[in-house]
Amino acid sequence: MRSLQLNDNENNQPVISQLGGHPYRTLAVHPHEKIDYVLFDGSNTEQMPLLVAEGFVPASAAQIMQRRVDVLNSNVPQEVKDSWWKKYFDTGDAPAYDSQGNMKVVLDAQPLLELTSKSKLHNGALVLPQGTYAGLQGEEFSKEQLVQYAGKCLNKGQSVDNPVWVALARGDKTLLSEYDTAAFARAKEFGYDTAMGIFVVSPREKENMRLWVVGDVGYSLACVYSDYDLDCCDGCLVGVAPEARVLASKYRAKRTLLDRILGR
């Protein structure tokens, strides 16, 4: 676990606190509100128990998207923006697969929170007990739909109509549109015209679950991946104070209402 430069307070100075002997920084989610973000890097099987034990929850894909949009549109130092955009992040959202290659986007997946070094893995994926998939809540996509919506990078604006991206954005098309604009602006800085692809794994014999990884904008073109191994040493979870999700949800609801009033 280490610090992540995420601070954007009024003086652009990091607010240092202590967590288990490790320094970490706080980030103003919205004016006058402070939310703690802590980077847990290493294998997910080793880091998830630490994240949960410290009272955090793993950041969702939508939260990562919102943070990236916020810092890009703020006057924070460039290194703060880069710490969000030039780094990939593992999330608490999961792609769950049945044995036929169908997939569900499971938000805030409970099986991921229970992940430990003793969890049963197969080829880096969490093995689900037979029949678990049917009871999981989440937007479901058939193998044929995944061929249509995944496996390639997108053009600017296409993510807003991609149902997998919409599911990861929790149905917030305003956020998704803002993120699409921001991601393609950053990708263009690296000389790319396509970005934000969705990449999934091929069918397996057993029901399984991984986690969604939101890629960096340079090497990964802000794509999302579901093929990273949970026991890989390069994992990168972001622990978030639980109240952050409540605040972010209220903020998005207010913004959506304002957009409707203003006819945007």
Mean pLDDT of 197-214: 93
Alpha-helix residue ranges (DSSP H) falling in the chain: 44-53, 61-72, 78-85, 110-113, 132-135, 143-149, 163-168, 173-189, 243-262
Nearest to 27 by CA among 40, 16, 43: 16
pLDDT value for 100:
92
For the entire predicted model, the pTM comes to: 0.83
pLDDT value for 244:
58
pLDDT of 199 over the 80 cut: yes
> CA-CA distance, 199 to 31, in Å (whole number)?
35
pLDDT value for 5:
42
Burial of residue 124 (number of CB atoms within 10 Å: 0-12, 13-18, 19+):
middle
Burial 215-250 (b: 16+ CB within 10 A, else e): bbbbebbbbbbbebbbbeeebbbbbbbeebbeebee
Place 151 in a pLDDT band, splitting at 50, 70 and 90: very high
The pLDDT tens digits for 81-94 are 898 999 999 999 99
Place 249 in a pLDDT band, splitting at 50, 70 and 90: low
pLDDT of 138 over the 60 cut: yes
pLDDT of 108 over the 70 cut: yes
Place 37 in a pLDDT band, splitting at 50, 70 and 90: confident
pLDDT value for 209:
98
Mean pLDDT of 154-165: 98
pLDDT value for 6:
46
> CA-CA distance, 232 to 211, in Å (whole number)?
12
Alpha-helix residue ranges (DSSP H) falling in 58-142: 61-72, 78-85, 110-113, 132-135
Place 25 in a pLDDT band, splitting at 50, 70 and 90: very low
> Which SS3 state, helix, strand or coil, does residue 113 take?
helix
CA 188, 192, 193 angle in degrees (round to 5)? 85
pLDDT of 172 over the 50 cut: yes
Tell me the β-bridge partners of 195. 154
